[in-house]
Structure 1
């Protein structure tokens, strides 16, 4: 196992301190002798040894302090700075990851949730509402003759129309509804705890709001309409089947003349 530099330095520091401690204990053993014995001619050499031990102990302690101040402490400071940089980098990467995840679930043009988010949310709503025996409604919107807007006024105006419709949907739905742009000129709303009657009323209000929404292109006022298909979950079908049924109702609204709600 390889040790970090600061760990190796710490072990050296401990060895030096232990060596100094051992010398101090040895010197203490010499001093425990009888004072009278110390003055015997043969014991005078112990004084010289004690002197050398105390000097060596001082050198070891001074070495340990020097080593700790000028080697161990800079290593610790360097490691702390590196850990701080690592934490900051981790925080930045985490924030960037969250931003990328949010971008992956958001429609760049309108700021709404996108198809991926919608599919995941619809599946989750059906799973949760199946446990509490409450209805889940679904509305699918498609802007009528939107291709003509792009062809006549350009894609910039078409983008403005999509953003305006997105704003209308957000303003007219509840905070817990899932409002998403599925792609192109198609939008969808998951409206939990709504039966067919209440869902139809909400869809009609939104359809009317889109039709009466002022959209100006230069001196030209555009009139945008939408067809809407509705479905309420029958508690048996999958999320894909549920969406397909609402999409079939959208097709019926288009077939019946557009700018209407079909349930």
Structure 2
């Protein structure tokens, strides 16, 4: 992944994302199934009785797949769509096998396509239920083809095939669950600061960018805040880096507690933190930061704060971050533990 690649949404659900991605692939699985059916009919030949109905049914199943891929109704119902596709796949395979040589021929393993599709998208519980449905269809076809389940040979043949379906579905579902867990861990590592568990710099900008664009579109005010600790080096030198880490965590905790539900806060690096305050003008931002500094006066190390607001101090996020950064350095130059509004210093606490 390059530096310019955006991260997935921070509230991204790997399982939901996986379902959305696989929806575009399920049609390819169905077309593969249709291709195998056509290949069998061309190479082996259609049965003398009902051969035309098999051809028409295969064509109908292919048209169903094409139609389902175009329906807008399922745009927000991907799981339902995949469930319907999987059930239709089982139905088509059962009907096709019933029209040829049943499950005892080379096409009996087609059920594995439905099992794997379910395991990849619908989870282990749904796959277990699907394997039960396939078992019923399989036993029906086995009996219809003249198989004897009461014989040792028939019992071993049917039982071994059903076990293959069950084991394949289980192992695939377990593998998918492990991948989802790994994706969640990787997403956390990519978006969270290890020390404070806040969003990191990259996640902050990825999250702020669409909110910033929306605010510009509707001309809604917002404020950008840069916060820097005044005495972190002193704390590290006097008390050790463990005390410095504790101070950073204390500031991070205070920022998380003081922010509103829609505000974004992140550790941008070192002892620097950033905040994005949607729908917040100059007065609102300063009032909020007054409360922050009053709390920090008793509980936290000294901090310097710089604020820039749209539209007074610019439009682009880069420009506003630069103005807020300059205001923060002005606060430091004035002795620290102050809020400076870009272009208009205001002392809140000294």
Give the TM-score of the pair, scaled to structure 2: 0.54
Residue from 159, 170, 178 that aligns with 1:84 = 170
Higher RCO by CA contacts (8 Å cutoff, separation 6 or greater): 1
Task: Give the C-alpha shift of residue 99 in structure 1.
Answer: 2.1
Q: Is the 8 A contact 1:228 1:253 kept in 2?
A: yes
Within 5 Å, give how 1:159-170 maps onto structure 2.
Answer: 159-170=245-256
Task: Tell me how many residue pairs correspond in the alignment.
Answer: 206
Task: Give the C-alpha shift of residue 260 in structure 1.
Answer: 0.5
Residue from 10, 14, 30 that aligns with 2:103 = 10
CA distance in structure 2 between the partners assigned to 1:248 and 1:67 by the alignment: 83
Within 5 Å, give how 1:87-236 maps onto structure 2.
Answer: 87-213=173-299, 224-234=301-311
Task: Give the C-alpha shift of residue 113 in structure 1.
Answer: 1.1
Q: Is the 8 A contact 2:149 2:158 kept in 1?
A: no
Which residue of 1 is the match for residue 23 of structure 2? Answer: none
Q: Say which is worse superposed, 144-153 or 94-103, in terms of deviation.
A: 94-103
Distance verdict in 2 for CA 1:194–1:63, change over 3 Å:
closer
CA distance in structure 1 between the partners assigned to 2:147 and 2:203 by the alignment: 66
Deviations 1:89-136 (A, max 9, x none): 101211220221022111111111111111112212111222332111
Structure 1 residue runs of 5 or longer lacking an equivalent are 15-59, 215-223
Which residue of 2 is the match for residue 237 of structure 1? Answer: 315
Aligned-partner SS, 1:212: helix
Q: Is the 8 A contact 2:226 2:273 kept in 1?
A: yes
Deviations 1:56-105 (A, max 9, x none): xxxx7559965542123312212221211111210121122022102211
Q: Is the 8 A contact 2:148 2:154 kept in 1?
A: no
Aligned-partner SS, 1:202: helix
Task: Give the C-alpha shift of residue 137 in structure 1.
Answer: 0.8
Cα-Cα RMSD = 2.7
Structure 2 residue runs of 5 or longer lacking an equivalent are 1-35, 41-96, 108-145, 342-350
CA distance in structure 2 between the partners assigned to 1:13 and 1:134 by the alignment: 65
Distance verdict in 2 for CA 1:78–1:141, change over 3 Å:
same
Q: Structure 1 segments of 4 or more deviating over 6 A? A: none
Give the TM-score of the pair, scaled to structure 1: 0.71
